[in-house]
Structure 1
Amino acid sequence: MKNISNTKLILLHPYIQKQGTSNRLWLLAFMSIFTLAFLLTIIYTSGLYAYSSTTTTTISAATITTTTTASTAVPQLPTTVINTLLYYSAKSNDTFKMSYADIKPISDALRKCSTPCNFLIFGLTHETLLWKALNNNGRTVFIDENRYFAAYMEEKHPEIDAYDVQYTTKSKELKELVAVAKEQIRNECRPVQNLLFSECKLGINDLPNHVYEVDWDVILVDGPRGDWPDAPGRVMPIFTSGVLARSKKGGTGKTHVFVHDFGGEVQRVCGEEFLCRENLVEASETLGHYVVERMEESSFQFCRSRPSSNSSLSAAS
């Protein structure tokens, strides 16, 4: 039997127990406070992010609205700038330049556009950059028969939108071409149509699709050259202009069509046939100004009152 006199009894003092419990309580309290602070931080950050997102969205919407409003406005060039451009363009020594008297009516027509103006020009000429500048914020498209010159102009002036076209008619074929238009006026050569799908010999049908979808406000025929019998002449551009003007889907319903070098036989005859005398508002030896109105698809006459083809051809000869 073991002697129990050596047995030691270990007693824990109550203070020690209380001290351990107190430490655990402090630790628990600290963890609770830390957890609460962490949760409050998350809640505050989420709320701040939501507010920031809402504010950003509101600001972005306002910015978009402002930008949209600004884009719909049509800021015009100051009159002094326009007059300066016209003056120095007319003063150039280029042999084939337009005179001030010819440029001014075209400039005035561009300024009358209440919305960004759609301006189509047949011919890359001395005035190319002038037309682009005068049609400020509008759409300006150039059509030229010389593919290399069109590519050169686009490379040298990236702001220029130019396309080349292959003309298949000749100036000396004028009478035959007018006769073809008369024969097919209710079919392929009708005055209201989408030329992209037309087989009319006088129509230009190989341009990019969007050119046929635009409602052109102003059209200028200043090309191609027609100084010799085998030159392309301007039968196709004038016929095409007449169809584009009458086939408009929207806009004002009227198109200003200008024909330069108006004294030429092809220009006079085709103006009579496809742009019509009743639409001629202004004319000189060098410039004809027509205002052509939109027509219904059921229309099969270019002109309301038209002279006989023989008389117009003989008068121009």
Structure 2
Amino acid sequence: MAPGWISNINFCFTGTVASTCSATASDNNFRRVCYCDPKATTTTSTQTAGGGGDPHIYTLRGAHYSILKEGTFLAWSFSKAQVEWQLFACYAGSQFTTQGLLLLDKHSGVTIEMTAKDCTWRTKENSGWRRVHQERLSKGDSVTSLDFKEQPNRTEIHLNIKSETEKDERKVARVIAHCRPEDHLDFKLVMSEKSDIDHVGGELGSAPPQNPSFVSSSPQTMMETKTDAEFEVHDSWASLGGSESADAYLTKQRPLGPSLVSKACTKSQEEDAEKICAKHLQKEGDPWVFADCVFDVCHGGGEVDAMRAAALLEA
């Protein structure tokens, strides 16, 4: 399992109120209240959030937690004027990994999905589903468009809005995914403008809870947890807009036994996990990402997941 990501955050959130960068990034319980990059300046507006592994969720408003429930969830939404995007994520398996992403552009009607079965993005057309290539996805005179780009070891989808007063476009967000076939995928979302966060919903738009709950096998792997019941959707993947084949694959990923996350790690396992994570991640760079990596490796992850975490952090 691999951790989620957050980076280049240039201001802190306490609840839903933004303030200048002054908070510390760690405490003895590995509980995240807010995060500041001490190297950042207040002039940069790019904000990053994402999910992966258990999955661990890092939100645009500074929350950091792990989900201990399988199912399909509204990971992110953006609604402003006539623009409406929705990103759904399916978490499944004994390690609660992300197994599928479904992105809907309600205005243009563009629908794309990817599952960990083959890590291939596909789009829905009248004749059926086809693979997405390096291309722009838009329909008619829509004010929205999606630019799909393939990068080494990852894919990127740029979500654009056409200005109503001018003919130029502005990028609102990027969805970056890193996927391992027949295993799981990890994703992060980058918002271009701080002001757009006011129009964001879903898991990645949530604020830190007032009364958090924790699961821990030891102080080193204490983790804030949620079930995200308010973001869970009970419609099938296909009824949301996804393909029947993806629906069938995701259904098969439901665990047959208890989750590996429920099992405690020994001190020896934690020490071994720290050594694996230290080969690819800097503990001082983001202690939360490092702590997530240790937690995941303890609960059945491998070195390849730490490698992927490092690669996506650099994206």
Place the TM-score, normalised by the shorter chain, in its bin: under 0.3
More strand as a share of residues: 2
TM-score, length-scaled by structure 2: 0.24
- Higher RCO by CA contacts (8 Å cutoff, separation 6 or greater): 2
TM-score, length-scaled by structure 1: 0.24
Higher-Rg structure is 1
More helix as a share of residues: 1
